[in-house]
Amino acid sequence: MPLCTLREVLDHARAGGYGVGAFNVTDAEQVEAVLEAARRTGSPVIVQTISGASAFASDELYWDLLLRTVDHYDDVPVVVHLDHGPDAQTCFRAIDAGFSSVMIDGSLDPVTHQPTTFDANIEVTREVVAYARRHGVSVEGELGTIGGSKDGATHAEIVLADPEEAAEFVARTDVDALAVAIGTSHGAYKFTSPPDSSVLHMDLIEEIARLIPTTHLVMHGSSSLPADLREIINAHGGGLPESWGVPEVEKARSTQLGVTKINQGMDSHMAYAAAMRTTMAGDPLAADPAPAARAGSAAMADMIAERMAVFGQAGRARDYAPRVFRSPAALPL
């Protein structure tokens, strides 16, 4: 099966009334974990990565490995998506490498990490959409500011998305999907208590979805930060502070309000790290890191398979007809 575009996968999700998890990867074993979980549960899936997030010397080297791994899963409908492209050039590089979807995060200045103007966001997003359209690639934009840390750089306070601005943004950019800030934040530290409606503005999703019914809404920073994983990590040398994320029930509810793409980075990384730390601690003579990575990948696949059931994408690979080519560049425009 060829790569799917984000538009195709999320259109299926909206028609079927479910959400699709977008899982962040930073090494080869994590790519395998996401794809194994998708194959096991019969799910369409979005594999996403942030520029510079891997340990490889260049994005191109890591991206090539990622795309070649995806080729081994030609029974799985897969979107390969650039998460939080900081500028147009990074998005162009991902499209040239063979990604089928990119996010341009024009809400923050790539250098200062401060919010940009509405018009500056629109300008850079339009530039990316124009290039992406020529290559049959989907585009996600961002409006408002989702707080916390996404790539190690901590940036601005949360600025909630404005529904009227969302409608204008979509009309002027023609993005396929829009990340809307509704109170979630990135990273391993989110809320100091279980979030309620004063923190998590689910009503905003409904309001925005009503104004832009053909654009897909994306929930960022939606990890739930499982306490049991935090305890395992901390019992093996970690020091994660107590924190609450987005409860599973809220994620499932968001898919009924208009969200079709649910970003999850931290939860699956916590599952991976907890299993790695446990495995390494269990064999003080181990020097080869592969057994720990293998355990990490298996734990991450299990966690993602569970989430696929919660989001509703499990079993929905049946929505897709088999195809004969893989490269998004070969897709008709």
Contacts of 180 (CB under 8 A, 6+ apart): 142, 143, 144, 161, 166, 204, 205, 208, 217, 218, 219
| Distance from C-alpha of 55 to C-alpha of 174, rounded to nearest angstrom | 34
CB of 5 to Zn ion, least distance (A): 19
Query: Is 190 an interacting residue with respect to Zn ion (CB under 5 A)?
Result: no
Count, residues near Zn ion per rule CB under 5 A? 1
Task: Give the DSSP letter string of 259-274.
Answer: EEEEEE-HHHHHHHHH
Catalytic choice (83, 105, 176, 267): 83
Regarding beta strands 101-104 and 138-143, do their DSSP bridges make them parallel or antiparallel, or are they unpaired?
Answer: parallel
Query: Is 155 an interacting residue with respect to Zn ion (CB under 5 A)?
Result: no
Tell me the window of 50-58, 216-224, 229-237, 308-316 that interacts with Zn ion (CB under 5 A).
216-224
Name the token pair of 215: 């654009």
CB of 224 to Zn ion, least distance (A): 15
The residue to which tokens 């004063």 are assigned: 198
Tell me the window of 71-79, 118-126, 157-165, 214-222 that interacts with Zn ion (CB under 5 A).
214-222
Query: Is 81 an interacting residue with respect to Zn ion (CB under 5 A)?
Result: no
Q: E-assigned strands of 131-197? A: 138-143, 147-148, 177-180, 185-186
CB of 209 to Zn ion, least distance (A): 19
Nearer of residues 41 and 263 to Zn ion, judged by Cβ: 263
| Distance from C-alpha of 106 to C-alpha of 83, rounded to nearest angstrom | 12
Of 219, 309, 316, 312, nearest in space to 258 by CA: 219
Q: Which of 220, 230, 251, 277 forms a contact with Zn ion (CB under 5 A)?
A: 220
Nearer of residues 201 and 220 to Zn ion, judged by Cβ: 220
Residue nearest to Zn ion (CB): 220
Query: Is 261 an interacting residue with respect to Zn ion (CB under 5 A)?
Result: no
Tell me the window of 27-35, 159-167, 220-228, 291-299 that interacts with Zn ion (CB under 5 A).
220-228
Nearer of residues 181 and 209 to Zn ion, judged by Cβ: 181
Name the token pair of 74: 């030609």
Verify whether residue 267 is a known catalytic residue.
no
What are the residue numbers of the active site?
83
> Which residues are near Zn ion by CB under 5 A?
220
